[in-house]
Structure 1
Amino acid sequence: MKYKDGEYQLFLNEIGHWIKIEGSSNKTVPLVILHGGPGGNHYVFERTAGPMLAKERTVIYYEQRGCGRSDTPHSEDYSVELLVNDFSFLVEQLGIKRVDVLGYSFGGELALEVALAFPGIINKIVLSAPSLMFSDMVYDIQIQGFKKISDEEFSDRIEKLLSQNLTFKEIWQKVWALADSELVDRFLFEDVKLAKYNRRLWENSGLSNTGKMMKALQGNPPSTPLEKRLNRIMHPTLILTGAHDRNTGLKISNIMKQELPNSKLEIFKKSAHFPDIEEESKFVAKTLQFLR
């Protein structure tokens, strides 16, 4: 690998991308981390599970186009294909022949798309609370997730929306618009203290999700849904999912476990959408054990 520990701005596929490398002295197969969102960043992961992984592995963070500390493309130029190609440019520019990948939430979905497009550069795959964002199933999981943790008044508002002649996506958009930060924290976490810690880190980062990537990707989904292509991915894959995940849900992880030919599913009994934060030590141990 050409680069040592540090932060870099690399020009990939005509876009400046923020890169950070830790643990290069370990000289392992590099572990590339793919963040969620869509439109998120790595600020929290850099301060939680990431440094623990870097004690043993060479870890590479990069933030996707238009996300976090990376540059924004002109004309809101986003698609799964572009994001996958950005990844291939990253690996090429770093001078790496083969990488492991760890994708959380939407990053898990993107990791699988990369494995389908460039199977030769992927060694092992770790999926943390992976999504299938182009499926109506996700909208239903999240709507029911909000209903499960909301008070009677909010639950009644959801029921009223469900009784109207609206699509799942329209209901989902309205539910998210109604939810305040406290409800979102309860939705994403089991442990209230860790939810508050996570939100403080979000606020400290000064980074925000503009929503532009999500909107662009939803308007331009892959021609064949990912769930119908999962059985082509032969890489060893570890799926890490919280038992209480109301955001992407055990249902999606179970589908992936069933369809990915060489996969293993680990359930985190005390976690919701972020097992990397709620059960950090176990998350790191399971990941390192698998990568070894």
Structure 2
Amino acid sequence: MHIQLSDGCLVYANKRVTGLPTLFLHGGPGYWSGSFEQLAGPILEKTRTMIYLDQRGCGRSQHAPSSTYRYDRLLTDMEEVRRFFGFHKWSVFGHSFGGLLAFLYALQYPNRVDSLILCNTTLYMAESLTYQLKYGSNLLGKTVNPPTQTSLLVKHFQDTIIQLREAGNWERIQFQHTAHAKRLEQADDRPDNQSDHRFQQAFLHSDLFAIDYRKRTTEFVKPVLILAGKHDHAIGPHHYQRFSFPNQQIALLDCGHHPYAEDVASFYKDIEQFSSVKL
């Protein structure tokens, strides 16, 4: 279904009603929740009321003025979606860049968040892109010294991604075993997956990019499950080690960036164990 937000933008937020309300936030920036909904939904929906939100400008949601592609507006969108469904509080599940949004939402609306699940999440975008640039360059047989200036780092990163795609190596950033990439590719190959390319550009060049939010993880005291892929070369396999949530549980998965398409059994087991302990 689509929900009209206070500024008129229509966002897609599909709700499957079964139990604990859980908002899913996709990564990217500029991806969508459709593939997660298809691959992970059938099992998660057995115990949770899943809300799959396509952020404004992403996937099945309406494209919006680029001036509204800001993290503060996205946090407002999330809060408006919560009020629309009438939840007093919910669990927030973020993957990749979506985990950063989940954490920022929890900081701004702590009384509305029951728990966090952060899956292969970056809380410092500049560091994750620097790691990905180095790893990708190595796959191309190159050695780089990543620039610290944001605009130059983003340009080098984007140039490297293009070269990796041309060389057929892009999947090695995202997956431990590239055979798993087919599952995600098939789930993404839908006509309603229509993200606005301006969304990603807005966030790669925003102030959000350069801030290390790991320093603020001590501020959120409710339960946090950290799912980290041992072979996640999109975020960096050790990025999570500087998370310092007071009530955190860490689960290491034998996968790359998309555990719901790779290490599926462990992915579900760790989430359900976390849910049982928390409840």
TM-score when normalising by structure 1: 0.86
TM-aligned CA deviation for residue 164 of structure 1: 9.0
Question: 1:18 and 2:26 equivalent?
Answer: no
Question: 1:220 and 2:206 equivalent?
Answer: yes
Q: Specify whether residues 140 and 164 from structure 1 end up closer, same or farther in structure 2 by C-alpha distance, changes over 3 A only.
A: closer
TM-aligned CA deviation for residue 204 of structure 1: 3.5
Look up the match of 2:135. Answer: 145
TM-aligned CA deviation for residue 9 of structure 1: 0.8
Q: Secondary structure at the match of 1:183?
A: coil
RMSD after superposition = 2.2
TM-aligned CA deviation for residue 78 of structure 1: 1.1
Look up the match of 2:218. Answer: 231
Task: Give, in whole Å, the separation in 1 of the partners of 2:147 and 2:121.
Answer: 30
Task: Give, in whole Å, the separation in 1 of the partners of 2:123 and 2:211.
Answer: 12
Task: Give, in whole Å, the separation in 2 of the partners of 1:164 and 1:74.
Answer: 30
Structure 1 outlier segments of 4+, above 6 Å: 163-166
Which of 169, 176, 188 is the aligned partner of 2:174?
Answer: 188
Opposite residue 112 of structure 1, the aligned amino acid is F
Which of 91, 94, 101 is the aligned partner of 1:103?
Answer: 94
Look up the match of 1:83. Answer: 74
Which of 239, 245, 253 is the aligned partner of 2:240?
Answer: 253
Question: 1:287 and 2:277 equivalent?
Answer: no
Question: 1:170 and 2:161 equivalent?
Answer: no
Is the 2:63–2:196 contact (alpha carbons within 8 Å) kept by the matching residues of 1? no
Task: Give, in whole Å, the separation in 2 of the partners of 1:134 and 1:197.
Answer: 26
Task: Give, in whole Å, the separation in 2 of the partners of 1:84 and 1:124.
Answer: 16
TM-score when normalising by structure 2: 0.89
Opposite residue 216 of structure 2, the aligned amino acid is R
TM-aligned CA deviation for residue 202 of structure 1: 2.0
The total of aligned residue pairs comes to 271
Task: Give, in whole Å, the separation in 2 of the partners of 1:56 and 1:240.
Answer: 19
Q: Secondary structure at the match of 1:126?
A: strand
Q: Specify whether residues 186 and 121 from structure 1 end up closer, same or farther in structure 2 by C-alpha distance, changes over 3 A only.
A: same
Opposite residue 25 of structure 2, the aligned amino acid is L
Opposite residue 290 of structure 1, the aligned amino acid is F
Is the 1:240–1:265 contact (alpha carbons within 8 Å) kept by the matching residues of 2? yes
Is the 2:26–2:94 contact (alpha carbons within 8 Å) kept by the matching residues of 1? yes
